[in-house]
Structure formats: C-alpha cells, structure tokens
Amino acid sequence: MEFEPKNIIVTGGCGFIGSNFVRHVVDNHPEVHVTVLDKLTYAGNPENIAGLPADRVELVVGDICDEDLLDRIVPGHDAIVHYAAESHNDNSIADPGPFLRTNVEGTFRLLEACRRFGVRLHHVSTDEVYGDLALDDPARFTEETPYRPSSPYSSTKASSDMLVRAWARTFGVRATISNCSNNYGPYQHVEKFIPRQITNLIDGARPKLYGDGLNVRDWIHTEDHSSAVWAILTQGRIGETYLIGADGERSNIDVLRAILEAFGRGPDDFDWVRDRPGHDRRYAIDPSKLRRELGWEPAHTDFAEGLAETVAWYREHEAWWRPAKAATEYHYGSIECYISLRD
C-alpha cells in the first residue's frame, strides 16, 4: 500500500536539489506540509524557497547534528527526506572535516531521531559511492555494484549509506536510499561545473576545464530527481536502494562546448586547468529497477533543451548568483593552476 505522508521534514531544503524537491511537493501534493531543516551554510539560500505559501512550508534554521533540536522538531512528522550534506568534491579535497561531520555524524543523528520517534527516512545519496567506470566499459552502475568511493566527499556519502542500511536492518528504521547521477538546472551553486562555466561567460571570463576534459557525467534535470524521490518515498519498498538516472551521459568537453556555443564563443575559448586529484573518470546509471518497479520516467529527456533553459535562467537571475560568485572564484584561485590554451 502506498505511504501517504502529510507532514515531512526536508533537510537541506535551502540547497539546490532539496529546494527543488520542496517546490515539487508544494506544486504537486497539496495535502503535504513541509518543514525545511537547513543550517544555511554557504550553499544554503532561503531565496531558493522564497514565495512559497507560509501555511505549506516552514523554515527551521538549524544543524542536523543538533540532537536537542531534532528532539523538538521531529515528533509529529511522518517522514524525513534527507538532502542536507556538504556536496562539493573540490571542497572535500581542500578540507574534509565538515564532510565527516555533516554527512556522517548528521546522518547518524537523523537515524537516531527516526528510531526514537518511529519516523520514516528517505536518504538521498549519490552515484559517486560506486567509484568510476572506464570510458569504454559497457557496464553501468546498478544497485548491486560494490561500493568503491574515491573522494573524501563520496567516501562520507558511502559511509552515510552504510549507516542507513545498518539502522534499517538492526533497529528496523523504515528507510529507503536513492543514489542519483549529476543534477543540473536552476538554483545550482556557482561552484559546480555547469553554473560555474555559464556565470564565467556572463562575466566575460574563460571557462575552466579539468584534466583532458574527457571525463563523463550522467546528467539528470533536478526536477526529474525530485519526482523520482517522491516515487520512492511513497511507493518504494522499505530497506531498498534505488538508482536514479536519465540516460544522460556526456563528456565534460562536450557540455562545455555546448555552453560556449550558447554564448556565441569558439569551441576552444576556455582554459585547461590542472586535474582534480582522484578525479573519477565516468559515472553511468542503470535506472531499470526504478522504472520497472515504480513506473518512474524522466520528463526532461532533451539535454540540449534543458541546458539552454538553464543558461537562460542564469542570465535572468544574476541577483541570485552574483553574491556567491567572487568568493567562489577566489577560493578556486587558491586550488587551481591555470594553463591557458593561448600560452
């Protein structure tokens, strides 16, 4: 029988993907009230959920590691949908500490609260827990692929997945896990690949491509991620893991050249920069289980169209991204060594 939550907590609901899920719920499920629990780190922005009806969405500013706070707000909710995380690989290489605290300890605190109050959990994770694939490997990741994380970020997400599995089996916490591929769309922080290149071009700066640019990511529009999480929350089998992807494999250089074209710039009008240490080569998701068992289908199947809409959104929403841009590029300046094609 379908699970019909009425009161849910969305952790990290002021971030890129969590805020999309909050808007998805408000737009499509009028019977559901959402409590957003968000610490408002550099990646959290209340503007991402601004304008939503106050009787549908409440923002609690706080830390998922704060046990007393969880004791106060979790009772009375039917489910927690857990997005809160430190999410950027480059940051995890520069300073892993916050990733251990939020991604591992934070998930532990939420699991303990779910156990105390008998609340359902959906844990949002990443395909990066499976490590990477060779460019010519015919395989894609499935729910049975062994865990082999490469970065401090993905190792902490893998750890959090393991905690969820153990709490489900040992303590009977009613939990599901999803591992999704790379998201794109509006409201993504300018530290991430696609928004970074778009906003560099708006600023008249050159995009930055890591390594040889042949790394492959499997892109999914964030709205399709949200619809998949809702399907798993309400119809998924307790204790199960579902992979979320939309058959969107693209090399970084192809994505970058599509962005350059949208700005009328030449295909080589970018800087090659030193590669990310431990850089995963390729991610690819086999979403058959999700499609077969829950009947989920992505709505955004035309990547070129989704990318064009995303470029347009950043052009029209400079006031949203401008405050974070200079500090983000300053931070990158300290970790990258630029090698220009023109030199």
Q: What are the catalytic residues?
A: 127-128, 153
Helix axes 252-262, 303-316, angle to 10 degrees: 50
C-alpha to C-alpha distance for 276 and 339, rounded to whole angstroms: 14
Shortest distance, CB of residue 36 to ligand NAD, whole angstroms?
A: 9
Helix axes 303-316, 193-202, angle to 10 degrees: 50
Residue with the two structure tokens 């992505």? 298
* 298 scored as a contact of ligand NAD (CB under 6 A): no
Q: Measure Cα distances from 281 to 7, 146, 181 in Å.
A: 40, 17, 14
Q: Which of 39, 88, 221, 282 binds ligand TDX (CB under 6 A)?
A: 88
Q: Both tokens of residue 99?
A: 């990733």
* 209 scored as a contact of ligand TDX (CB under 6 A): yes
Residue numbers 146-185 binding ligand NAD by CB under 6 A: 157, 180, 182-183
* 189 scored as a contact of ligand NAD (CB under 6 A): yes
Q: Which of 11, 20, 87, 328 binds ligand TDX (CB under 6 A)?
A: 87
C-alpha to C-alpha distance for 190 and 45, rounded to whole angstroms: 12
Shortest distance, CB of residue 210 to ligand NAD, whole angstroms?
A: 16
Window contacting ligand NAD (CB under 6 A); options: 33-41, 260-268, 286-294, 310-318 = 33-41
* 41 scored as a contact of ligand NAD (CB under 6 A): yes
Strand order across the beta sheet in which 208-210 lies: 208-210, 271-273, 338-340
* 245 scored as a contact of ligand NAD (CB under 6 A): no
Alpha-helical regions (H) of the chain:
16-28, 67-73, 89-94, 97-99, 106-117, 152-171, 193-202, 222-235, 252-262, 288-294, 303-316, 318-335
Coil, helix or strand at residue 210: strand
* 308 scored as a contact of ligand NAD (CB under 6 A): no
Shortest distance, CB of residue 43 to ligand TDX, whole angstroms?
A: 10
Which residue in the shown chain puts its C-beta closest to ligand TDX? 126
CB 56 within 8 A of CB 26: yes
Shortest distance, CB of residue 202 to ligand NAD, whole angstroms?
A: 20
C-alpha to C-alpha distance for 107 and 163, rounded to whole angstroms: 8
Q: Measure Cα distances from 329 to 147, 180, 209, 211, 325 in Å.
A: 32, 27, 14, 18, 6
Window contacting ligand TDX (CB under 6 A); options: 83-91, 162-170, 219-227, 264-272 = 83-91
Window contacting ligand TDX (CB under 6 A); options: 67-75, 112-120, 205-213, 311-319 = 205-213
* 224 scored as a contact of ligand TDX (CB under 6 A): no
Residue 206 interaction partner, one of ligand NAD, ligand TDX, none, beta carbon < 5-8 Å per kind: none
- Where do contacts with ligand TDX occur on this chain (CB under 6 A)? 87-89, 126, 128, 182, 192-193, 196, 208-210, 215, 217, 252, 276
